[in-house]
Amino acid sequence: MDASTSRGCSSERADGGGRRGTPGAVNLLKSRWARGFLVYLAAAGPGLIAANAGNDAGGVATYASAGAQFGYRPLFFMVIVTIGYVCVQEMVARLAAHTGKGLGALIREQFSLRLSAFAIVAFAIANIGLVVTEFAGIGAAFELFGVSRYLSVPLAAVAIWALVLLGSYRYAERVFLLLSLVFITYPIAMILGHPNWHAVVANTFVPHFLRSSAFILVGVALIGTTITPYIQLYTAGAVVDRGIGPDEYKYERVDAVSGAIISDLVSMFIIIATASVLGGTGALTSAAQAAKALEPLAGRWAEDLFGLGLLGASALAAAVVPLSTSYALAETVGVERSVSKTFREAPLFLGLFTVQIIVGAGVVLIPGNLFTLIISTQVLEGVITPITLVFLLVLANRRSLLGAAANGKLARSVGLVTVVLVGLFASFLVFQTVLGWLGVTL
């Protein structure tokens, strides 16, 4: 609310508050809340979609497994991650809105050819693995409903491909926002699990970390599935694709920040739901096992509820992840990139999207444990994430690029701490992996 709005509100109370009484003030407040909510709905898009896509198949699997392994302990860690996540998403949206360019284009213009190539290759490797993960999530979700992955995955691939290739950005965005509604299943799951609310509050606001490599490994996976490169790539590309500029940035800022907070609340709901029933039983190995966390009151509907959330999340991310790669690579090369363009107008952008859909769906049709594949991919994301964050922080700090919109002291500090912490967790994972190759365990 700006200063003029505040003054207007105070003046109205002084002039008419005594005559109209409380109901008038309440109606005025309600109307402002209604207008504010409508403005948010109009602005909601890139930030909310990208953040919700982060709660994809890998996210659901990782959060559920974290709750099953360590109970409520990961909740405080998620609070810390959320602070960094909000900072990162705001920086991405600000960069795109004030420059009119996605991250791929900015990295190409602001860094050397070698660094640009390194960044894009890292993005591509991580994202190809994630596309497989998303279709694995679709397959796992349909298997909960008794439908074979060999039927569900090809049909889902065709539907997602058609949505992007045959529609416009605005149409695709509406479908993505609609898919985001499935996340209402997780707060319901949390309530059905009858959690120990005292323990939930205590673990949310007070750290209860464990000195174990397993806990740190879960921490890396939580970072990898929350502050993940494809979310930043998609956010920037979608902000540009939607035509959001400096004048509209104040609305997009709300979209980016609220999207990050909402998505991490959903993440915490999943952890609480699984922790309340499966806490301390060990890592999960299947989607059906995670669904048991909903069983106490939901009964036979437990798997259906979990499966619906997993399906919607996976379908959303199965479109967003390959789009983020297409945005980044097309921007780096400097060719047309937009969902609203035809294949003839943007052949590289839409061709890359098509190839990723084919590869992702094809790999999932190979026999194997989909849930294990999903969680393993998140660890890879946790290792590559610091690379993205370093580029992002350097770009957002440059006044030569953003002028007065560059990071202030607080944003620089929070961004630096986020990069350092994520880097330390990722370094520990690499160190542990190398020791494992040598036969040494921590």
| pLDDT for res 46 | 72
Helix, strand, or coil here: 346?
Answer: coil
The residues spanned by each domain of the chain are 54-437
Distance between CA atoms of 115 and 20, rounded to whole angstroms? 65
Burial class of 31 by CB neighbour count within 10 A (0 to 12, 13 to 18, 19+): exposed
The candidate with the shortest Cα–Cα distance to 257, out of 67, 414, 101, is: 414
Cβ pair 348, 355 in contact under 8 A: no
**What's the one-letter identity of residue 349?**
F
Query: H or E segment at 416?
Result: helix 409-437
CA geometry: angle 319, 228, 386, nearest 5 deg: 145
Return the exposure string of 323-360: e unless at least 16 CB atoms fall within 10 Å of the residue's CB, then b.
bbbbbbbbbbeeeebbbebeeeebeebbebbbebbeeb
- As assigned by CATH, the class of the 54-437 domain is mainly alpha
Query: H or E segment at 190?
Result: helix 185-192
DSSP notation for 63-114: HHHHHHHHTTTHHHHHHHHHHHHHHHHHHHHHHHHHHS--HHHHHHHHS-HH
| pLDDT for res 16 | 43
Distance between CA atoms of 291 and 269, rounded to whole angstroms? 14
Return the DSSP state at 204. Answer: H
Tokens (6 digits) for 73: 């302990």
Return the DSSP state at 283. Answer: -
Cβ-based neighbour number of residue 362 at 10 Å: 14
| pLDDT for res 399 | 93
Largest CA distance in the chain: 81
Q: If you count them, how many residues does the chain have?
A: 442
Return the DSSP state at 280. Answer: T
Instruction: Supply the pTM of this predicted model.
Output: 0.76
| pLDDT for res 3 | 40
Q: Which residues contact 118 (CB under 8 A, 6 or more apart)?
A: 387
Distance between CA atoms of 48 and 253, rounded to whole angstroms? 11
Reading the chain (442 residues) residue by residue, the pLDDT tens digits are 444 433 333 334 334 444 444 555 555 545 655 555 445 555 566 777 777 777 777 777 788 889 989 999 999 999 999 998 899 999 999 999 999 998 888 998 899 888 888 888 887 877 877 788 788 888 888 888 889 989 999 999 999 998 888 777 677 767 777 777 777 777 887 887 789 999 999 999 998 888 787 888 888 778 877 887 888 888 888 888 888 899 888 888 888 898 889 889 989 998 998 888 777 777 776 656 666 655 654 556 666 777 777 788 788 888 888 888 888 888 888 788 777 788 888 888 899 999 999 988 988 887 765 555 555 565 666 677 788 889 999 999 999 999 999 998 888 898 888 888 878 877 776 677 666 666 666 5
Cβ pair 68, 274 in contact under 8 A: yes
Cβ pair 316, 49 in contact under 8 A: yes
